[in-house]
Amino acid sequence: MTQTNPETTTLLARDWLRVLARYREPSHTRSFVELGITVVSFALLWGAAWWALSISYWLTLAISIPAAAFLVRLFLIQHDSGHGAFFRRRFLNDWLGRAIGILTYTPYDVWRHSHAVHHATSGNLDKRGMGDIDTFTVREYQSLTRRQRMAYRLYRNPIVMFGVGPAYHFLLRNRLPLVLRTTDWRQWVSAMGTNAGMALLAGIAIYFIGAGAFFAVQLPIIMLASSIGVWLFYVQHQFEDTYWATDQAWDMPDAALSGSSYYDLPRALSWMTANIGVHHVHHLSSRIPFYRLREVLRDHPELATGNRLTIWQSLACTRLRLWDESREKLVTFSESRK
């Protein structure tokens, strides 16, 4: 399924940290241009979807597709802000991230914490459970009760994983992130502040266009955007030859390059998704601004050969459910019985 270059992903993994350091400097001009294009495009498309209600709701739904794509792009700018990669100053990154969080329904400080844990533990079998997709090993799955197996199968079902699950996460779970079980007041302020901002923005929109029109436009956009976001996150780590290791054997550079895919999208889709498909480079050096990731591949084409996935190849990833420790690859349920 994937094309892996052992020299790139293993032997030289740690050396790439030094090589990639020179790409970490953001350009404020470029950042403001990318932000402006994304915000204006999203606002215009949202307005066009509302206008289309007077013609046909099918037209509104059609416009919702590019609107959702630009909302995903806004989330990815929020993502770069969380890594301190969009602007040089942390103050600017953090407040931009908090503002965008009102549009993406994602409390910035809560998400930044869980995502930092994801980067620090990705591929570590002994530190699963926060900021990632639940993945059992074959041995763990076989030790589950019948009811637990059914629950896991339901969770990994594509309808739940890319449909019901994303909608639940962004519409409901993010509103009261009790799963963090934290007493950190800053994260609670982030969650409640985001909720208040969402309520204020929705209230203003409802006052001017009405509740029915607002929800008819907003719900399809946020639900589609959440599904696209979860899909991207899924294929970036849930591919056949990904990386999982016990804590004792786990190595961050190896986990970054071997445990993250290069989702080789067409150039237009790559731009729309803020080059997040160059995920192996991002995981190895998360301070690189998204608009410089293509520059890395241009200067170091050998990085474009490891764990490469095309759109067609990525579809097969939905069948992979369990990590087989003996074969060191993700397998389907049927393969796990062999």
Q: Is 183 buried (19+), middle (13-18) or exposed (0-12) by CB count in 10 A?
A: exposed
Gap between the Cα atoms of 271 and 277, Å rounded = 10
Predicted confidence (pLDDT) per residue in 191-203, tens digit:
999 999 999 999 9
What's the average model confidence in pLDDT over 291-309? 91
Closest CA to 177 of 162, 161, 198, 194: 194
Residue 178 pLDDT grade (very low, low, confident, very high; cuts 50, 70, 90): low
Q: Is 48 buried (19+), middle (13-18) or exposed (0-12) by CB count in 10 A?
A: middle
Of all residues in the chain, the percent with pLDDT exceeding 70 is 94
Q: What is the pTM of this model?
A: 0.91
Residue 336 pLDDT grade (very low, low, confident, very high; cuts 50, 70, 90): confident
Average pLDDT, the chain: 91
Residue 272 pLDDT grade (very low, low, confident, very high; cuts 50, 70, 90): very high
User: Secondary structure of the chain in the HEC alphabet?
Assistant: CCECCHHHHHHCCCHHHHHHHHHCCCCHHHHHHHHHHHHHHHHHHHHHHHHHHHCCHHHHHHHHHHHHHHHHHHHHHHHHHHCCCCCCCHHHHHHHHHHHHHHHCCCHHHHHHHHHHHHHHCCEHHHCCCCCCCCEEHHHHHCCCHHHHHHHHHHHCHHHHHHHHHHHHHHCHHHCCHHHCCCCHHHHHHHHHHHHHHHHHHHHHHHHHCHHHHHHHHHHHHHHHHHHHHHHHHHHHCCCCCCCECCCCCCHHHHHHHCCCEECCCHHHHHHCCCCCEHHHHHHCCCCCHHHHHHHHHHCHHHHCCCEECHHHHHHHHHCCEEECCCCEEECHHHHCC
Residue 4 pLDDT grade (very low, low, confident, very high; cuts 50, 70, 90): very low
pLDDT of residue 162: 96
pLDDT of residue 180: 56
318 and 311 Cβ atoms separated by less than 8 Å? no
Amino acid at 59: L
pLDDT of residue 187: 82
pLDDT of residue 288: 96
293 and 30 Cβ atoms separated by less than 8 Å? no
Higher pLDDT, 76 or 338: 76
pLDDT of residue 56: 96
pLDDT of residue 3: 44
Q: Exposure string (b/e) for 149-174, b if CB count within 10 Å is 16 or more?
A: eeebeeebeeeebbeebbbeebeeeb
Amino acid at 131: G
For the chain, domain boundaries: 6-336
pLDDT of residue 308: 93
Gap between the Cα atoms of 21 and 222, Å rounded = 35
Predicted confidence (pLDDT) per residue in 15-58, tens digit:
888 889 899 999 999 999 999 999 999 999 999 999 999 999 99
Rg (C-alpha) for the chain, rounded Å, is: 20
Predicted confidence (pLDDT) per residue in 203-261, tens digit:
999 999 999 999 999 999 999 999 999 999 999 999 999 999 999 999 888 898 899 99
